[in-house]
Amino acid sequence: MALALRCLRPLPALLHHSSFAVTRGLPQAPRGCPVPVLEGCRQCVQQMLLSRQLATKKAKGKGQSQAKVNINAALVEDIINLKETSEDMQAVIEALKEDFSRNLNVRTSPGALDHITVVTKDGKFPLNQLGQISQKSPQLMIVNMTSFPESTAAAAKAIRESGMNLNPEVDGTVIRVPVPKVTREHRESLAKLAKQSTNKSKEALRKVRSKSITQVKKFKNKVSEDTIWLLEKQIQQMVDEAAMEMDKLLAAKTKELLG
């Protein structure tokens, strides 16, 4: 019994780091370990980890809450860069926040027009790089295209198709942009756009997931099935958490827009 306890003593620290210790090389048995019984502690650890995984799967089948996977990224860095995957997902979330802030406001301000993308024969440019934007009155904004008169029509089209419910009027190299009255219909239209933007962001999130899963599966012949399964579970968990954050952002934005 004393010898068996000596074998199990390293387990807590090992499990604390990651379940991936199974595939990343477990420590050899402590001196004196009854190898014929415990097979050098490796099978002890492997069986314990496998039991934990199977218990989690069973819990899922019974509708119970699943234990979260928390992988030490350093232990799997030669398979996938989990930090980079997390950063890619966070970038999608930040892009959604920026879209909400710039393009989905009940009150339209000059700043909301700044980053509308204008497609010209020379490429794509933010509107504020092509024209001077100002607010003449609470009901009217002006875009002066004197510096790039050849892009006036393209700029007006970009404003009209921005999804901000704006109907620009071109007068030479000046674009007049009437600010619409805030109506219930306008608020609901903005809320729908917020939902569409969130769905597009979730699609981008799924692309990050697909890319990461593909990367992991490249190692299916080099590491155990349990390793692949746990990594896929970790990635899906990251996606779920990012999607939940997006849903919270949408809920807050919808409440703001609808009043």
Q: What is the pLDDT of residues 15-41, one digit of tens each?
A: 344 444 444 443 444 444 444 433 334
Question: What is the spatial distance between Cα 259 and Cα 251, in angstroms, rounded to a whole number?
Answer: 12
Average pLDDT over residues 123-128: 93
CA distance 110 to 131: 12
Q: Is the pLDDT confidence value at 237 over 50?
A: yes
Torsional class of 16: left (φ above 0), alpha (ψ -120 to 50), beta (otherwise): alpha
Among candidate residues 183, 130, 189, 138, the one with its CA nearest the CA of residue 156: 130
Bigger pLDDT: 63 vs 37:
63
Which has more pLDDT, 257 or 46?
Answer: 257
pLDDT at 22: 40
- The pLDDT of residue 203 is above 60: yes
- Of 79, 12, 86, residue with least CA distance to 230: 79
The strand pairing partners of 124, in sequence order, are 119
Question: Which residue, 136, 131, 138, is CA-closest to 172?
Answer: 131
Least confidently predicted of 146-160, 181-195, 203-217, 228-242: 181-195
Q: How many Cα atoms are found within 13 Å in the side-chain-facing hemisphere of 74? A: 1
Residues 97-120 have pLDDT tens digits of: 988 887 787 766 667 788 789 999
Domain extent listing, the chain: 73-104+183-258, 110-178
Q: Check: CATH 1.10.132.20 for 73-104+183-258?
A: yes
Mean pLDDT of 249-259: 92
CATH of region 110-178, choose from 3.40.50.360, 3.10.450.50, 3.40.50.300, 3.30.1360.40: 3.30.1360.40
Residue type, 81: N
